[in-house]
Structure 1
Amino acid sequence: MLVAAAVCPCPPLLVPEVARGAAPELDAVRAACTDALGVLAAARPDLLVVVGPAERPGRGPHPEGTPGSFRGFGVDLDVRLGRDPGTGSEGVLPPSLAVAAWLLERNGWSGAPVEGLGVGEPLEPERCAEVGRQIAARADRVALLVMGDGSACRSLKAPGYLDERAEPFDARAAEALGTADPAALMALDPDLALTLKVSGRAPWQVLAGAATTADLTGTLLYAEAPYGVGYMTATWS
């Protein structure tokens, strides 16, 4: 059963070594992520599952110890998922889960075993929800760390250029995340999300499925659009 969730954005720029001179610009996001992970730790889960967008979904779950790297972003930095060094038998973490592994390491995660799962942006909402329900049934006390960004079309300099539909979409997502509203998350349009370059839609709908039988309260910790991309951090507990 799902007992807690943390929602965090997943840009590699969260890692200061990747952001370099621009690192201070995301200090507020990093602080919100630290607060969100504190809620997960306080819930004392039996299992923590990290869910994030992946270009090649379905490869996983990634067991504890699976390696990740930021070498593709020009930084000689490696991470592993969770505390167990493991064998890395399921290959390399996708970037979103590598960012999650970095967040867990940075914040000294010492709680439950950790697994990772990458989901693809085109995955249908009901299939996302089914994945979430399956995750929630894995243990008596399950926690989720849900990685994903909002629209990448919030400004003229955004990766996807400016789209007037982007801000209202992100506002709906932020309200749903901040109020722990699974139905509102499930109502997010996958086609529009794809057009607006939203990487978090599928992971958020996995969360919605996992929370189907839970009674959780949401708190929105951060919702801004630096660099024209919607970054949201929230907790469900």
Structure 2
Amino acid sequence: MIVPEIAGGAAPELDPLRAACDTAVRRLAASGARSLVVLGSYTSTMDYSFPVRVSFSRWGLPEPPGEPPSLPLSLSVGAWLINRAFVPVPPVIRRFATIAESAPVEECAALADDLGSDEPWALLALGDGSARRGTGAPGYDDPRAVPYDESVEQALATADLDVLRGLDPVLAAELMVAGRAPWQVLAAAAAGGTWRARLDYAAAPYGVAYFVASWEREWERA
């Protein structure tokens, strides 16, 4: 739904979400990071070798030309957001990677340990909240969805690593949460730092929760 050509007539309703994403991506570009890791969820944990190809053909858009394998949906959306933001001098995308939707917390932490770089780097973590927010939601209504999403919203707004690390993979699967594993990779990667967090968007259009948050590390001054 975030890609206007796919959303069709519903596209204008998600303009505030896209604007928040644009702001977040530009903030990453202005952070001073030398490189960027784009992380999403998928059926398995894997890296994608360059060159890569963004494709939304499964959702009705034409298949782009070229032979490189297409990225899964989460990473295609990430690349689309980066291109959409028109960042003049973006960080170099060093890595496209996915974490398995069913990955336990320990696997998320292990991947986080492997993401870093000797140079300053940034992480774009992609994944939405529950898809069971109301009777019109893709997964129909579940009364646990709103409390779950509210806890995630607060954690993203305050950089609460403990809450994100404590998210239950089983409950996340039952609530059709695509962001649980990427958020836990984020929490593990952020361990040991002090973070200034900002939440730019939190809503559940069409019964799916979306959040846009930015974390910036606060460095101690000598």
Give the TM-score of the pair, scaled to structure 1.
0.86
Write the mapping of 1:49-68 to structure 2, written as runs, cut at 5 A: 49-55=37-43, 57-60=44-47, 62-68=48-54
- Deviation digits for residues 58-98 of structure 1 (CA, Å, limit 9, x no counterpart): 331x2453102111111126499xxxxxx83xx32001110
> Is 1:41 equivalent to 2:40 in the alignment?
no
Q: Contact (CA 8 Å) 1:46, 1:139: kept in 2 or not?
A: no
- The one-letter code of the counterpart of 2:57 is R
Distance 2:51 2:192 in 1: 30
Distance 1:231 1:143 in 2: 21
Per the alignment, residue 131 of structure 1 pairs with 111
Distance 1:177 1:130 in 2: 21
Note the residue ranges of structure 1 that are not aligned, 5 or more in a row.
1-12, 81-86
User: How far off is 1:142 after superposition?
Assistant: 1.3
Write the mapping of 1:145-184 to structure 2, written as runs, cut at 5 A: 145-184=124-163
Q: Contact (CA 8 Å) 1:79, 1:98: kept in 2 or not?
A: no
Per the alignment, residue 220 of structure 2 pairs with none
Q: Contact (CA 8 Å) 1:151, 1:193: kept in 2 or not?
A: yes
Q: How many residues are matched?
A: 214
- The one-letter code of the counterpart of 2:190 is A
Q: What percentage of aligned pairs have identical amino acids?
A: 43
| RCO comparison, higher one (Cα < 8 Å, 6+) | 1
Q: 1:79 to 1:133 in 2, by over 3 A?
A: farther
Note the residue ranges of structure 2 that are not aligned, 5 or more in a row.
217-222
Distance 1:162 1:168 in 2: 13
Per the alignment, residue 103 of structure 1 pairs with 81
User: How far off is 1:235 after superposition?
Assistant: 0.3
Distance 1:202 1:135 in 2: 14
User: How far off is 1:112 after superposition?
Assistant: 2.0
Write the mapping of 1:1-237 to structure 2, written as runs, cut at 5 A: 13-55=1-43, 57-60=44-47, 62-76=48-62, 78=64, 88=68, 91-109=69-87, 110-114=89-93, 115-136=95-116, 138-237=117-216
Q: 1:77 to 1:99 in 2, by over 3 A?
A: farther
Give the TM-score of the pair, scaled to structure 2.
0.91
- Deviation digits for residues 212-236 of structure 1 (CA, Å, limit 9, x no counterpart): 1222111111110001011000000
Q: Root-mean-square deviation (CA), in Å?
A: 1.7
- Deviation digits for residues 8-39 of structure 1 (CA, Å, limit 9, x no counterpart): xxxxx111111111110100100110111121
Q: 1:45 to 1:78 in 2, by over 3 A?
A: farther
- The one-letter code of the counterpart of 1:217 is R
Q: Contact (CA 8 Å) 1:47, 1:139: kept in 2 or not?
A: no
